[in-house]
Structure 1
Amino acid sequence: MITSPRTELLKGEVDKVRKWVADGGNLLWLIDQDPLRGLQPLADDLGLQLTPGIVVDPTAAQLRIPATIALATSYGVHPITEGFTYNTAFPFVRQIVTKPEGSNWHATQLVEVAQRGWVETGSLDKDLRYDKDRDVHGPVVVAAALERKVKDKSQRVVVVGGSQFLSNQSIGLLSNLDLGVNMLNWLAADENLITVQPRSRVDSELTLGRAPLAMIGFGFLIVLPLAFLLTGGMIWWRRRQT
């Protein structure tokens, strides 16, 4: 797995990664908006076109969450997303464009976000507005799966336009964990494990202290019977008066 490196990679390091892919190794690449730090040749090998900018999703803003968290409700036809109908959230995600023409890669668009959004190529500090002359209108593809045959074996690569959707802060959002696990299972050729993970049960047990328990017991054992007796007595007395 490759996440966005923070320092420039040495040519020898990049060559090792490219050789791993050239020899048929599987790969999960989470590509943030940061510079590629020397990995542009790897992007070229995979036929990736990485456009600048961050996806802005007005739907997220309507839900009172930052517009830079793109919400996904549309998924491609692929084993990773088969039967996957849940929402996922991608903070500060970039667009992924696959251009495998002239190569033996078969590309599938996995995740589409921001149906009414766009790729913001300007500053995120200002008021976010779509600029038709500069920005890319949604929907925006932010994840793709690549597959090919190498030495009679299936090679698999998953590329996501950001690492934050699997970060500690975001992996619990919506169904991010399910999608991430499905990606890893597909890369490991464990299709039988691709599923929606069972949700943990919410603890519905009510624990009361001594004082609340005493009040409940007093109410049921004394107050409630007295109330019934008083009500019955009043009904009996009124009938005696008529």
Structure 2
Amino acid sequence: VVVAAGPRTPFGDDDAQALRGWTAAGGKTLLLLEPDAPHGLDALLGDFGIARPPGALADPGSHYRNDPGSPAVSDYTRHKMTRGLPLSFFPGAAGLEPAGDSLPKGVVVTPLAQTSSQAHLPGQPASRYTLMALATRNAQAASADGAAHPTLLVAGDSDFATNRHFATLGNGALFTSAVTLLAGQDALLTIRPRHYEGRRVELTNRQMRTVFWTSTVALPLLALMTGLLLWWRRR
């Protein structure tokens, strides 16, 4: 597995071509990109039908704590890599755009983590963006080129896997699962590391609003209405 984590300067032409050729020959590559940071790997992304539009995402609908610039994900796409993962967040993330119906021949792209439908890039309308995607070439196309399942896993952020955020919520588990999947160690995906630490509930802003309106407004209002109804009937 080759991991390119948060490149800040572009890969040289020879290095980019070497990585592209290695992946096409059946290699497993993990790219952790950053918004607007030059990486020189557009050709590799194009081979798998993935684009990174300019700008950093803001997600008013689902973000970590009070920072819309840190999109949070609690509802992942159903996939063996994301099974059982807790909430994760991506501080300062780029949006990824799979090519949809115009994907290269034999390529299948699976969005693993996505924003809410309220996310947007600077100057763009709100839309649902992909934060992490798994792209593979199917067996038939790979065999035709003499390659064995070339695989590219791309995330629009690298900060979630840094020391600062690795141990927070599901960030570390998400990164570990990505590497485990690419390494072909599928049996380990169901084994999560055990952490002996104090447990606390971490909520997205949407979940916090739901708790607030339910506990602070709805339940007291229900109790008040019940009391008024009983009072009225006893009259």
Q: Structure 1 residues 15 and 86, CA, compared in 2 at 3 Å: closer, same or farther?
A: same
1:162 aligns with 2:157: yes
Q: Which residue of 2 aligns with 1:209?
A: none
Could you tell me whether the CA contact under 8 Å between 1:49 and 1:96 is conserved in 2? yes
Q: Which residue of 1 aligns with 2:130?
A: 141
Q: Which residue of 1 aligns with 2:94?
A: 94
Matches within 5 A, 1:144-223: 144-148=133-137, 149=139, 150=142, 151=146, 153-195=148-190, 197-202=192-197
Q: CA RMSD in A?
A: 2.3
CA drift of 1:88 comes to 0.6
Q: How many residues align?
A: 189
TM-superposition CA deviations, 1:21-64 (whole Å, max 9, x none): 12111100111113333222122122112112212122567x74
Could you tell me whether the CA contact under 8 Å between 2:133 and 2:153 is conserved in 1? yes
Amino acid at match of 1:88: S
Return 5+ residue gaps in structure 1 as ranges: 122-133, 204-242
Q: Structure 1 residues 189 and 12, CA, compared in 2 at 3 Å: closer, same or farther?
A: same
Determine which structure has more spread, i.e. the larger CA radius of gyration.
1
Partners of 2:196 and 2:120 lie apart in 1 by: 38
Could you tell me whether the CA contact under 8 Å between 2:47 and 2:104 is conserved in 1? no
Return 5+ residue gaps in structure 2 as ranges: 199-235
Give the TM-score of the pair, scaled to structure 1.
0.70
- Secondary structure of 2:5's aligned partner: coil
Partners of 1:77 and 1:60 lie apart in 2 by: 19
Q: Which residue of 2 aligns with 1:39?
A: 41
Amino acid at match of 1:73: S
Q: Which residue of 2 aligns with 1:117?
A: 118
1:52 aligns with 2:54: yes
Could you tell me whether the CA contact under 8 Å between 1:55 and 1:120 is conserved in 2? yes
Q: Which residue of 2 aligns with 1:71?
A: 72
- Secondary structure of 2:166's aligned partner: coil
Give the TM-score of the pair, scaled to structure 2.
0.72
TM-superposition CA deviations, 1:124-170 (whole Å, max 9, x none): xxxxxxxxxx3241432111111223336333221101111101111
- Secondary structure of 2:11's aligned partner: coil
Could you tell me whether the CA contact under 8 Å between 1:60 and 1:66 is conserved in 2? no
Could you tell me whether the CA contact under 8 Å between 2:57 and 2:93 is conserved in 1? yes
Q: Which residue of 2 aligns with 1:3?
A: 5
- Secondary structure of 1:106's aligned partner: strand
Partners of 2:168 and 2:24 lie apart in 1 by: 35
Partners of 1:157 and 1:37 lie apart in 2 by: 15
Q: Structure 1 residues 152 and 174, CA, compared in 2 at 3 Å: closer, same or farther?
A: same
How high is the sequence identity, in percent, across the aligned residues?
23
